[in-house]
Amino acid sequence: MGTSNRRLATIQPVEMTREPLRLAIQNKLDSKKSISERRRLGQFATPSGLARDIVSFGLTLHNDELLSFLDPAFGTGAFYSALVDSAELNNISYAKGIEIDPYYGLPAKKIWADMKIDLELHDFTKLEPEYKYNFIICNPPYVRHHLMDTQDKIRIKEKTYQASGIKLSGLAGLYCHFLLQSYQWMADDGIAGWLVPSEFMDVNYGKEIKQFLLSHVELLRIHRFDPSDVQFDDALVSSAVVWFRKHKPIEESNVEFSFGGTMEKPKIVKFIDRQTLKHESKWTRFPQMSVRTAETMEVRLSDYFTVKRGVATGNNNFFIMNREKIEALGLPFEFFRPVLPSSRYVHEIEIFADDIGNPVLPQELFLLDCRLSENEVQEKYPILWSYLESGKDSVSKGYLCKARKCWYYQEHRDAPPYICTYMGRDNTVTGMAFRFILNHSNAIVTNSYLALYPKKNLLQKIVAMPDLKRTIWKMLNDMSPERLNDEGRIYGGGLRKIEPAELLNVPIPQIAEILA
C-alpha cells in the first residue's frame, strides 16, 4: 500500500491526554529498578514522542473502521496511551495488553482502570490467542538468547514454530519469538508495527525472520532510526520499526525502506523489490546504499586477508624482554625484533613507529629471534650462547620448543599492518568485543593477537593509494559487532573469542564496494 492512502490521525487536545501521568509513573518505576534487573526482562520503555510517531503512522496503514488493538509487551502502555490520544475512542472496539511483570502491570492497571482495555498479567509466550487483533503495536523485550533460561528457550522455540511455522535459530533473542508468535494473534489484513533492534536485518539468526517477512506476510515498510539522532536514548539507537500486514505477499510490490527523521518524515526513503530482498543478506544497507550485485554480496574477510595467530614463543619470559634486560645481559641487539606487549596491556588502537620502526608504546619489548645454528652462536656470540645455555634444560624441553628443528627458532612472521585482539567482552560504548589495531611499526605480535595480512589484490591497491590502509582499518572497526559475534563464540561471563577461520568468514562487503 502506498503512502497516498494514509489516513491522518486525529490528535487529542493535550489537556485530555493521560500521557504525562503515565510517563511520570513509568519514570518513577524505572528509577527504582536497577538496569541489570530491567535488562533481564527487556524493560526499556518507548519514549512518548516515538510511541506517538509509530502509532499515528500505523493508523495511516489501517484499513478497517474499527480497531482491535494488542500490545503483548505492555509495560505501562506507551503505545496504548499514544493510541487513545491519536484515534477516535469510538473507533477502538477492543484493546488488550499483556505484561509479565506486575511491577509495571499493576500500576498500568490503575492508570487505565476506567478505559476499555483488558490488561492481563501473564507471559505472552505462554498464552493462546482468544481473539484476533487488527492492530498490533509492540516494543518487545530485547532479551538476548544467552540470557534466556535454557528450558524456557526450548519451550519458546517450539511455541514459535507452532504459531508461525518458522524454526528460529537458537541465537535468536526473545524479541524474534514475540514477533513470530504474534502472527497467530493477528486478524486477516491486520497491521503490525514492531519496534525491534535492527540487527536482525544483518545477522544469521535474523534469516528466518526475513524469510517470514517475505513469505508469510506483506512486508510494508522498515524504518530505521538514525543512531546519531539524540532524541532516542541508548536503548533505541539501533532500532527499526517493521510494518507488515497479515496478507499473502504481493510479489510485484516493493517494500519501503526509510532512514532517519521520524516515521512520518524520514530523511531518506527507497523502495526495494522483494526479489532483491530475498537475495540480499544485509538489509540495513537500505535505503542509503544501492542494490548489490552478486559479486559484492558474499564478500568475506578471506577474500582480502590472510589471518594468522601471533607467534607462540614457547616461553615468553625467556624469549621476550625489555631493552634494559637486553643491555644488562649484554645480548646482541641484532637478534631481537620488536614485539607488542600482550593485548591486556595495549590500549592504543593505532601503533606509531619511531624512526627505526620500533613501536612507540609505554612498554618496549623485544623477541629473541635468532636463526643461527647452535654451532654458529657458540662460535660467534658467546654471550648469547650462555643465555641460551641457561634455558637448555628447562625452556628447550617445553612442548613447543622441543618440537622445533632448533629449540629457540621462532616462527617466521612479518609485522602485520592490522592486528586483532581476538578475546574480549562487549565494549559498552561500541558494542565491539574485539579491536582492530592499525600497526605502523615493525613489531610482530604474540598469540594474544591475530595478525591480518592483506592479500595481493588488496596490498597492490594499498601500495597505489596509501590512504586506503587507514580506510580499511576504519572499515574493520566498523564491522557490525553482531556479525563478528555471529562467527565467534561466547563463554560464560560474556567473554567472546574469535578464531582465525571464524574471522576470515565475517562478511565485509564494504571493501568490495570501495575497491570496485
Residues binding ligand SAM (CB under 6 A): 41-46, 71, 73-75, 78-79, 98-101, 104, 123-125, 139, 141
Q: Which CB sits closer to ligand SAM, 125 or 343?
A: 125
Residue with cell 624482554: 321
Contact by Cβ (8 Å): 350, 470: no
Q: How far is the CB of 114 from ligand SAM (least distance, A)?
A: 20
Q: Which residue is nearest to ligand SAM (CB)?
A: 75
Q: Which CB sits closer to ligand SAM, 139 or 281?
A: 139
Q: Which CB sits closer to ligand SAM, 45 or 472?
A: 45
Q: Which CB sits closer to ligand SAM, 75 or 314?
A: 75
Q: Which CB sits closer to ligand SAM, 159 or 285?
A: 159
Q: How far is the CB of 514 from ligand SAM (least distance, A)?
A: 37
Q: How far is the CB of 343 from ligand SAM (least distance, A)?
A: 36
Q: How far is the CB of 201 from ligand SAM (least distance, A)?
A: 19
Q: Residue 439 in 3-state DSSP?
A: strand
Q: How far is the CB of 260 from ligand SAM (least distance, A)?
A: 21
Q: Which CB sits closer to ligand SAM, 174 or 444?
A: 174
Q: How far is CA 24 from CA 12, 81, 233, 372, in A?
A: 19, 13, 17, 75
E strand segments, 56-113: 67-71, 92-99
Residue type, 297: M
Contact by Cβ (8 Å): 447, 400: no
Q: How far is the CB of 62 from ligand SAM (least distance, A)?
A: 19
Q: Give me the residues paired with residue 137 across strands.
A: 193
Q: Which CB sits closer to ligand SAM, 141 or 266?
A: 141
Alpha helices in 187-315 (DSSP H): 207-215, 274-279, 294-297
Q: Which CB sits closer to ligand SAM, 194 or 283?
A: 194
Q: Which CB sits closer to ligand SAM, 123 or 426?
A: 123
Contact by Cβ (8 Å): 196, 179: yes
**Which of 297, 306, 305 shows the shortest CA–CA distance to 202?**
297
Residue 146: how many CB atoms within 10 A of its CB?
13
Q: What are the residues whose beta carbons fall under 8 Å from the beta carbon of 481, sequence distance 6 or more?
A: 426, 430, 431, 432, 433
Q: How far is CA 334 from the centre of its chain?
A: 45
Q: How far is the CB of 158 from ligand SAM (least distance, A)?
A: 15
Rounded CA gap, 387 and 59, in Å? 80
First-last CA distance in the chain: 36
Residue with cell 484499513: 63
Q: How far is the CB of 154 from ligand SAM (least distance, A)?
A: 15
Q: How far is the CB of 100 from ligand SAM (least distance, A)?
A: 4
Q: How far is CA 459 from the centre of its chain?
A: 29
**Which of 418, 421, 437, 466 shows the shortest CA–CA distance to 350?**
437
Q: Give me the residues paired with residue 242 across strands.
A: 194, 222
